[in-house]
Amino acid sequence: MLQLNKLTKQYATGDLALKAVELEIPKGQVVALIGPSGAGKSTLIRCINRLVEPTSGSVDLNGKELTKLGSGALRTARRRMGMIFQEYALVERLTVMENVLSGRLGYVGFWRSFLRRYPQSDIDEAFRLLERVGLDHMADKRADELSGGQRQRVGIARALIQDPELLLVDEPTASLDPKTSRQIMRLICELCAERGLAAIINIHDVALAQMFVQRVVGLRLGEVVYDGPPNQLTPDTLTQIYGEEDWEATIEKVEDDEEGDDALPQGALA
Ligand SMILES: Nc1ncnc2c1ncn2[C@@H]1O[C@H](COP(=O)(O)OP(=O)(O)OP(=O)(O)O)[C@@H](O)[C@H]1O
């Protein structure tokens, strides 16, 4: 269970990016975080693992108050928070396998990590994960030889090999085409369901979020203005989150897509 209590972030510039945000995410729940540019979505995700230091309030993950941890304990706690990025953040000249294994760097000792010598159990797990994300035949390819969708699959496998308690996902599909975006969202949600893993997915595409998650949180100007199921996102609530716009088209798109999307195989390759 993740709990945010009055989480507030004011940047040195004076920007108040989060205003006393309260949020509770139970084990196994996948939440889409939506909101206009500048609403505070990235700040919220980064305050959870303290890549951005909150100004006040607390973050509690499975009974541990992350906001109180010193640097050593924070490093240990961060191992259990997998992060998936928009731009994948892979090491381009390393292979798919090496990139996945880099998710274990927080666990292996200094020399092993320096020499990149991983225990056999990590290598076995990396193969299992690559198989699960549909990339087992590409283990030896260099990251810079992959498509965007394949890169994101590597990013997902790298996050999962950390054995995370929570996934923090920052715009995972922003650089992908619509079909690959769906495949990646489906894969993330399936993996969370299989592992009882909670996730927060910062996502710009409301229709895509509505297709895959059970709960949507809408941020506006650093405040939660919507928290509920995707099917209750009406034009009025979307206006509350994003401001005036013709929302009927967005909502219709979801309904159309839901009808036609079942043809894709589970975990299909990008
Ligand atoms: N490093 C920073 N220094 C100062 N202000 C910042 C910094 N990062 C973000 N902000 C400000 O905090 C607010 C929230 O930004 P944030 O990036 O969290 O929003 P967002 O919802 O993720 O936006 P986007 O969807 O465009 O990525 C904005 O007003 C932004 O200008």
Three-state secondary structure string covering 149-172: HHHHHHHHHHHHCCCCCEEEEECC
- Residue 270, pLDDT above cutoff 80: no
Task: Specify the range with the lowest mean pLDDT, choosing from 75-89, 135-149, 178-192, 215-229.
Answer: 75-89
Q: Is 162 in the pocket of ligand 1 (CB under 6 A)?
A: no
**pLDDT of res. 91:** 86
pLDDT digits (tens, 9 = 90+) for 54-86: 999 999 999 999 999 999 999 889 989 999 988
Nearest-CA neighbor of 219 among 34, 42, 50?
A: 34
Q: Is 38 in the pocket of ligand 1 (CB under 6 A)?
A: yes
pLDDT digits (tens, 9 = 90+) for 80-134: 999 998 887 888 889 999 999 988 887 776 666 666 678 889 999 999 999 999 9
**pLDDT of res. 26:** 95
- Residue 265, pLDDT above cutoff 50: no
**pLDDT of res. 253:** 60
Segment of 70-74, 197-201, 231-235, 237-241 carrying the highest mean pLDDT: 197-201
Q: Is 103 in the pocket of ligand 1 (CB under 6 A)?
A: no
Cα dihedral: 147, 152, 157, 158 (round 10): 100
All structural domains of the chain with their residue ranges: 1-69+206-242
- The CA 190 to ligand 1 mean position distance, Å, reads 30
Taking a C-beta distance cutoff of 8 angstroms, is the pair 7, 62 a contact? no
Residue 65: phi, psi to the nearest 5?
Answer: -85, 100
Report the percent of the chain where pLDDT is more than 90.
Answer: 72
216 vs 232: CA distance, rounded Å: 9
Mean pLDDT of the chain, nearest integer: 88
Q: Is 218 in the pocket of ligand 1 (CB under 6 A)?
A: no
Q: Is 34 in the pocket of ligand 1 (CB under 6 A)?
A: no
Place of tokens 């590409």: 138
- The CA 17 to ligand 1 mean position distance, Å, reads 6
What ipTM does the predicted assembly reach? 0.97
Q: Which CATH number fits domain 1-69+206-242: 1.10.8.590, 3.40.50.300, 3.30.1450.10, 3.40.50.2000?
A: 3.40.50.300
Residue 89: phi, psi to the nearest 5?
Answer: 55, 45
- For ligand 1, atom 3, name the residue with the nearest CA: 11
